Amino acid sequence: MREIREILPIPGTTKSVPTVMDVRQQTEAFTPVAPLQAPENAPNVVLVLVDDMGFGASSAYGGPCAMPTAERLSGGGLRYSRFHVTALCSPTRQALLTGRNHHSVGMGVTSEMATSAPGYTGFRPPSAATIAQTLSGNGYSTAAFGKWHQTPPREVCASGPFDRWPTGEGFDKFYGFMGAEMNHWYPQLFDGTTPIEPTRRPEEGYHLSEDLVDRAIDWVNTQKTLTPDKPFFTYIAFGATHGPFHVGQDWKQKYRGRFDKGWNAQREETLARQKELGIVPQDAELAPWVDMVPHWDELDETERKVACGFMETYAAFAEHTDAQVGRFVDALEEIGELDNTLFVYILGDNGASGEGGLEGTTREHLVGHGFADSTETMAEEIDTLGDASTYSIYPVGWALAMNTPYQWTKQVASHYGGTRDGMIMHWGNGITRGNEIRHQWHHVIDIAPTIYEAAGVPHPVMVNGVAQQPIEGTSMVYSFDDPGAPDRRRTQYFEMCGNRSIYHEGWTAVTRHGVPWQMVPEGLPSFDDDTWELYDTTVDWTQAHDVADRYPEKLRELQQLFLIEASKYQVFPLDDRVTERENPTLAGRIDLFGDRASVTYRAGMGRFTEETAPNVKNRSHRITARVEVPEGGAEGVIIAQGGRFGGWSLYVVDGCLSYAYNCYGRELYTVGSDQPLEPGTRELVFEFFYDGGGVGLGGTVQLSVDGKQVGEGRVEKTTAYYFSFDETLNIGIDRGTPVTDDYPVLDNAFTGTIDTVRVDLHDDVEELTAAEQQRALLAHQ
């Protein structure tokens, strides 16, 4: 039977043969068509992934964020102390669900940063079937809830194709969001491939993490009611604890004042607790502090106040997330399925994020474009952290503390601060030695083969007629009941945005190339000029002591090994661009709109993501709307893209045509008419004349009605690379958060009738080198 399962879908059995014309004369009974059966005693599988959580954040790993569910599961299961991920979102997810290295399956960076290079296309090859495809083909029910972030952005639209959506990659059910992050108060979601929005609002008690678990519980209960003998695979990937930090004020209260001692003291406390838990050896040292990040005692009073507010919000966000996992665990226990479930709880798809900059930010996209947020302004907003008016990430100092005891952060694949995360496995019927630590060295690509071995299914050699490339991971089942078992993963490369390293039999050779919070870097060194470090982690668990000068031959050996592994897994050519790659043209990937200079929309169209909307950035453009204004006038949005933290909107307020441009959530420019629209058919025209000479610069705005100019003004600064990862372009309404407070959240639909809205792009789009772009941005900061 195992050999039969190597080809998916499993070939059908021989059909019964009719021997008579009349069924009443049939003497030999027909064999009923039986449903596909999973292997006998195959467990359910639950895979929970938390976003942007460092090794030293959760209480289960000695950190300050209370996560009692993680502690509960580890108490009856295993905590892995040397588990590794890729240092960034999409790559870890693709590696997790395929069992292959991220470059091997085209996901060398996030899907929004894809290029045309083989290891970076953002397209999973059909030769790398997912866990969901494999388990579904072996008789499992499958569902995914939450963050996906693996579909090429230009395919996240009503035209698809949909084979790289969750429901095209083996999941029977999907409920969640497709991109890098999501507003937890006003999310824009999909049920399968259908765009939907929550039926409740924050003031009615809505929160995305709670919604995801509600749906997951309902799905599992339904499966077990209808098909109690059929195992299920449930993948829950939270948007938390990625920015924005969105959590209710009641959760924050618990942490008031808890972080006043600062990030340096927190590192010391966390390391001490990790030693008590046995997560790290007793002789483990704190890895060196990143010298470009200030120590706590170097901050002034305002900076400390702001930093504490961010950390209190993050800790509350983390605890709230774990509480939702707890509800799901309780639901499994209630229906008697917890012990029959291999439950994998991964506490981070990369290390804690340093993308909030040295100061932190309440406007993520501001920092993403290379600008620092204002500490003074943030101090005034401190009590609002966590609510829908903020889009926050904490300062780098807290990211370093959350990665205790290791160096660096998310994106930095060279050091363990970016790649080592907590991971817990619980399986009452399959792990006999609970509440123990496992120190075997493992990587996220090892999860898929672990699940296959536990489920009793082979890695398929062919799926849907496509021969499969080898699984590159190693099953971890050998470690379940043998804490002293020798490591079976001896070598693993890492690379992200030019940061790279190689692990081999206890040694690590590493080189950091870029700085995570410098998203639009200028003057990065040549890759040949990068400085390599060497660590012997058999005696230096935390990469605290660089011994490159003592063992130059070992360093050269590992550098050569990196070249071999990188060549094998499609890592080359190296690419250190970050924000620049968010632009399809600059990244070298196909633009959905190609050379089209005009797009016409009609009423009701919407939910167009950044890469499925015309690119109006850094160029002149015109919007022409044909509308019907009812008697008594009209109100509401005609067309809008983005939201409160970056975007633009053409709308009618107090009966007058208006335009708002929101630059990174920091500057808001409004141009409006003082002449109410007359009833009847009207042609409304917005024209933007870009200044040119760089990116992110300003321009002149003109508004006209039926050929008559009714308004003119200036937009002094514009968005250079992207408006948003979660908000969309919509016709006749501004979904999600509003671009401007001139109209309310959600209740802002145009009260007239929209015939067409045409967007015309002019050909003066700016395409400059990265250095020219950065100079232009800094000039207008």
What's the structural domain count of the chain? 3
Same domain? For 181 and 303 the reply is: yes
The SS3 assignment for 142 reads: strand
Q: How far apart are CA 686 and CA 682, in angstroms?
A: 13
Same domain? For 673 and 536 the reply is: no
Give the tens place of pLDDT for each residue, 678-690. Answer: 999 999 999 999 9
Give the tens place of pLDDT for each residue, 298-312. Answer: 999 999 999 999 999
Same domain? For 435 and 557 the reply is: no
Give the tens place of pLDDT for each residue, 264-313. Answer: 999 999 999 999 999 999 999 999 999 999 999 999 999 999 999 999 99
Structure tokens at 517: 């919070």
Q: What is the CATH number of the domain that holds 654?
A: 2.60.120.200
Domain end among 496, 531, 563 = 496
- Give the pLDDT of residue 778: 44
Quote the domain boundaries for residue 572: 499-582
- pLDDT of 192 above 70: yes
Give the tens place of pLDDT for each residue, 322-345. Answer: 999 999 999 999 999 999 999 999
In a domain, 674, yes or no: yes
Domain end among 496, 524, 540 = 496
Structure tokens at 412: 């930095």
Same domain? For 230 and 218 the reply is: yes
Residue indicated by tokens 């409740």: 200
- pLDDT of 66 above 80: yes
Q: Closest by alpha carbon to 47, among 97, 88, 107? A: 97
| Beta-strand runs (E) in 42-191 | 44-50, 78-84, 141-147, 173-177, 189-191
Q: What is the H or E stretch that residue 416 is in? A: helix 416-419
DSSP string, 473-490: S---GGGTT-TTPPPS--
Do the Cβ atoms of 484 and 737 come closer than 8 Å?
Answer: no
Query: How far apart, in Å, are the Cα atoms of 266 and each of 59, 301, 404, 477, 750?
Result: 13, 18, 9, 35, 51
Same domain? For 597 and 472 the reply is: no
Q: What is the CATH number of the domain that holds 545?
A: 3.30.1120.10
Residue indicated by tokens 């000029």: 529
Burial class (CB in 10 A: 0-12, 13-18, 19+), 75: middle
- Give the pLDDT of residue 28: 85
In a domain, 3, yes or no: no
In a domain, 370, yes or no: yes
Same domain? For 475 and 547 the reply is: no
In a domain, 34, yes or no: no
- Give the pLDDT of residue 765: 55
Same domain? For 420 and 554 the reply is: no
Same domain? For 422 and 519 the reply is: no
In a domain, 355, yes or no: yes
Domain end among 496, 523, 539 = 496
Position 386 confidence tier, pLDDT thresholds 50, 70, 90: very high
- pLDDT of 3 above 70: no
In a domain, 5, yes or no: no
- Give the pLDDT of residue 764: 63
In a domain, 597, yes or no: yes
- pLDDT of 773 above 70: no
Do the Cβ atoms of 335 and 228 come closer than 8 Å?
Answer: no
- Give the pLDDT of residue 212: 98
Which sign does the torsion angle of CA 608, 614, 618, 621 carry?
negative
Residue indicated by tokens 């010298």: 291
pTM of this structure: 0.95
- pLDDT of 655 above 90: yes
Do the Cβ atoms of 447 and 49 come closer than 8 Å?
Answer: no
Give the tens place of pLDDT for each residue, 415-464. Answer: 999 999 999 999 999 999 999 999 999 999 999 999 999 999 999 999 99
The secondary structure of the chain in percent helix, strand, coil, rounded to multiples of 5, reads 25, 20, 50
In a domain, 37, yes or no: no
Position 768 confidence tier, pLDDT thresholds 50, 70, 90: very low
Q: Mean pLDDT across the stretch 581-597?
A: 84
Q: How far apart are CA 204 and CA 502, in angstroms?
A: 50
- Give the pLDDT of residue 775: 43
Residue indicated by tokens 């580890």: 74
Do the Cβ atoms of 388 and 417 come closer than 8 Å?
Answer: no
Do the Cβ atoms of 587 and 114 come closer than 8 Å?
Answer: yes
- Give the pLDDT of residue 711: 98
Burial class (CB in 10 A: 0-12, 13-18, 19+), 383: exposed
Same domain? For 509 and 470 the reply is: no
Q: How far apart are CA 642 and CA 660, in angstroms?
A: 11
CA 485 to chain centre: 34
Q: What is the CATH number of the domain that holds 441?
A: 3.40.720.10
Same domain? For 575 and 596 the reply is: no
Average pLDDT of the chain to the nearest whole number:
94
Position 16 confidence tier, pLDDT thresholds 50, 70, 90: confident
**In the chain, pLDDT over 90 holds for what percent of residues?**
89
Which amino acid, one-letter code, is at 80? Y
Phi, psi (5° rounding) for residue 163?
Answer: -75, -15
Same domain? For 199 and 273 the reply is: yes
Same domain? For 136 and 245 the reply is: yes
- pLDDT of 642 above 60: yes
